[in-house]
Every structure is written in C-alpha cells, then in structure tokens.
Amino acid sequence: MTMRISSGLLERLHGEAAAAPTLEICGLLLGNDAEILEAVAARNMSSRPEDSFEIDPQALFAVVRAERSGGPAWIGHYHSHPRGRAEPSARDREAAAGTPVKLWLILAGGSAELWRLGDDAEGRQICQRIALVA
C-alpha cells in the first residue's frame, strides 16, 4: 500500500515538530484510501507532553462533525517523537488498541513514517509501514 501526501503538507508538519522540539505535537489526518489531504493540528492534552500525546477531544469532535457533513474523512493521527524514532512506541501501540483509526504518521529526527496499526488473523496487534510518497 502507498499513501500520497503533498510535499507542502509534509513540510508544514515537520515545521510544527521543529517548533516544539521537546514536546510531542499531534493532530488528525484527513483524506481517503490513497492520499492524506489535510492535517488538523490539535492541542496535546497529555500530562506528559514530552513523551506522550493525547489529542484534544474538541479537535476530534470538530473533525467528526465535518466528516458527517460531507467533509474529508478522518483517516488517522499524527504525532512527533522528540527523542525517539519515527516508529510506533509501546505506548503508541497500547493507545491504538481498539481505536477505529488505523493510520499513524510519526515524525522524528527530520523523517516521517506512516504506519497502519491493526490486528492480524489471530488477533495479535501488528504495525505495518506504509510507503509515503510526497
């Protein structure tokens, strides 16, 4: 599977992460099965924003309302890892369990990786890297 994202949007997300180098930034991804069309920044509500994120529920509700009114579909989340790699951490995997959104874009060290989080046929959680084309 391959997902497209505009180079301008990807550059904007890297800029958000660079502007908060010691904190995890976060937001919501909007688009379709082939492309990330928009990214909506959200306040990180975590009590430990230096190493975890929790998307502001108001941002999530606004995206869901817009989708129900014909707006772009909510397809995933994005966040940064200020001191980690651009791959799901154990905390990310735990937070993803049972959520309806399966795509996670993670920014770290100037790179961005897209992941599909889900379950395999035996019900075990898996993380699959998705090719991201800007």
Q: Name residue, tokens 């550059």.
A: 11
Amino acid of residue 35: E
Tell me whether residue 58 is exposed, middle or buried, using C-beta atoms within 10 angstroms of its C-beta: 0 to 12, 13 to 18, 19 or more: exposed
Amino acid identity of residue 102, one-letter, is K
pLDDT single digits (tens) 15-74:
999 999 999 999 999 999 999 999 999 999 999 999 999 999 999 999 999 999 999 999
* pTM beyond 0.85: yes
Residue 92: per-residue pLDDT: 84
User: In a 3-state reduction of DSSP, which class is residue 7?
Assistant: helix
Mean per-residue pLDDT of the chain: 92
pLDDT 10s digits, 116-129 = 877 777 877 778 89
Given this model, what pLDDT does residue 81 score? 97
Q: Fill in the DSSP letter of residue 93.
A: H
- DSSP, collapsed to helix, strand or coil, labels residue 79 as strand
Q: Can you give the residue range of the structural domain that contains 59?
A: 2-133
Q: How many domains does the chain have?
A: 1
111: domain CATH number is: 3.40.140.10
